[in-house]
Amino acid sequence: MLADDGRPVAAEAKATARDVLMAYVGLTKPRVIELLLLTTVPMMFFAAGGVPPLGLVVATVIGGTLSAGSASVFNCVYDRDIDEQMRRTRRRALPRHIVTPRAALVFGIVLGVLSTVVLAWQVNTLSAVLSVSAIAFYVFIYTMLLKRRTAQNIVWGGIAGCFPTLIGWTAVTNELSWIPIVLFAVVFFWTPPHTWALALRYREDYAQVDVPMLPVVKPARNVAFQIVLYSWVMVATSLLLWPVASTGLFYPIVAAVLGAVFLTQAHALHRRAKTSDELSILQPMHLFHSSNLYLSLLFVAVAIDPLLK
């Protein structure tokens, strides 16, 4: 609904309490949180060599949820101008004016403070420091510095999404080692294929708001080629965990099978991209959904492997 001057009427007046509550939940991007926790908890199993203490898992999950939610809220506040114009994001709380930017900012700060307190108090200081670093990296490096300036935005900005592997490990061990760094690298190389597949689907949205995602500035065949390259490095890195961590055979077998399936999907996208830029031909969401399944099952294997020794 528009006012007489053509501006959107604020939705707060018509929003119910449930609408507002769900709007705040939406600001935290729950689906993103799920994916981040899916890398955190298995790392705790791997670090513990079995089942970690339940109380520690609960505290880490709560702290990690609050931390990831805080980063997402800050991202929504900063990107509210472009979110209002993009089909994929215009139904978020800030574009719909259900929550004010100031209220959202306060909400993000509260979540960030609570996450730091929970992790420092119930887990350890190192995990809390890593959590704060992840929030800062996502907000200041990715959202504010890289996203609107370079096609490599998600490559380097995606580092923020790799921190849960470190946090899960340090929650149990209170120290870093090469093992979580290997899985940090797996998530790092997984992020570009995952995100570029989605960006291929919504490239017109990104182009409309001048966000230089790789599919906006390069033809689909070039993007698909980059996806193939990153996918091969990702799979190779995932197999590196076997010798570095001396895992059982379960993990490398699962990693190899999952990697083969993912590479098949990546190469299929590349073949389609050679013939057409049309979405109906490219079907990039096949790879996007496959990437979610790949990462989920890979980290499930990370959690199960020490239980089988």
pLDDT digits (tens, 9 = 90+) for 158-174: 999 999 999 999 999 99
SS3 8: strand
Q: What is the pLDDT of residue 5?
A: 38
For residues 256-263, give the mean pLDDT: 98
Q: What's the mean pLDDT in 281-304? A: 95
Instruction: Please state the rounded mean pLDDT for residues 119-135.
Output: 97
The span from the CA of 72 to the CA of 133, in Å, is 14
> What is the pLDDT at residue 41?
96
Which tokens is 204 given? 């017109």
The predicted pLDDT at position 127 comes to: 97
pLDDT over 50 (residue 292): yes
Query: Kind and range of the H or E element at 17?
Result: helix 17-27
Residue 116's pLDDT is 98
Which pLDDT belongs to residue 10? Answer: 44
pLDDT for res 19:
82
**CA distances (Å), origin 306, targets 42, 242, 247:** 10, 12, 7
Measured CA to CA, the distance from residue 226 to residue 287 in angstroms comes to 14
208-216 average pLDDT score:
94
The pLDDT value recorded for residue 88 is 85
Beta partners for 109? none
Contact 306, 45 (CB under 8 A): yes
Band the pLDDT of 8: cuts 50, 70, 90: very low
- Grade residue 1 by pLDDT with cuts at 50, 70 and 90: very low
Confidence of residue 14 (pLDDT cuts 50, 70, 90): low
Question: Is the separation of the CB atoms in 170 and 183 below 8 Å?
Answer: no
Q: Give the span between the Cα atoms of 112 and 181, in whole angstroms.
A: 24
pLDDT at 177: 94
Could you give the count of Cα atoms lying within 13 Å of 181 in the half-sphere of its Cβ?
5
Backbone angles phi, psi at 8, to 5 degrees: -65, 140
The rounded distance, in Å, linking the Cα atoms of 41 and 43 is 5
Query: Domain residues of the chain, as ranges?
Result: 19-152, 177-309
Confidence class for position 200, pLDDT limits 50, 70, 90: very high
pLDDT of res. 206: 93
Q: What are the pLDDT digits (tens) for 17-51?
A: 888 889 999 999 998 888 889 999 999 999 999 99
| C-alpha distances in Å from residue 11, one per residue of 20, 89, 176, 213 | 10, 16, 47, 31
For residue 13, pLDDT beyond 90: no
The pLDDT value given to residue 11? 44
Distance between CA atoms of residues 119 and 48, nearest Å: 18
Of 260, 243, 246, whose CA–CA distance to 298 is shortest? Answer: 260
Which two tokens mark 58? 């609960």
pLDDT tens figures, 96-105: 889 999 999 9
Residues 184-205 have a mean pLDDT of 96
pLDDT interval class at 7 (50, 70, 90): very low
Whether the predicted pLDDT of 77 surpasses 80: yes
Residue with tokens 């995606």: 158
- Tell me which long-range contacts 83-90 makes (C-beta under 8 A, separation of at least 24): 85/205, 85/208, 85/209, 86/202, 86/205, 86/206, 86/208, 86/209, 87/202, 87/205, 88/202, 88/205, 89/205
Mean pLDDT of 250-278: 96
Q: DSSP secondary-structure letter at 306?
A: G
Comparing C-alpha atoms, which of 127, 202, 133, 115 is closest to residue 167?
Answer: 127
Q: Percent of the chain scored above 70 by pLDDT? A: 95
pLDDT above 50 for 82? yes
Beta bridge partners of 68: none
The C-alpha atoms of residue 98 and residue 83 are separated, in whole angstroms, by: 14
From 3.40.50.10470, 1.10.357.140, 3.50.50.60, 3.40.50.300, which CATH number describes the 19-152 domain?
Answer: 1.10.357.140
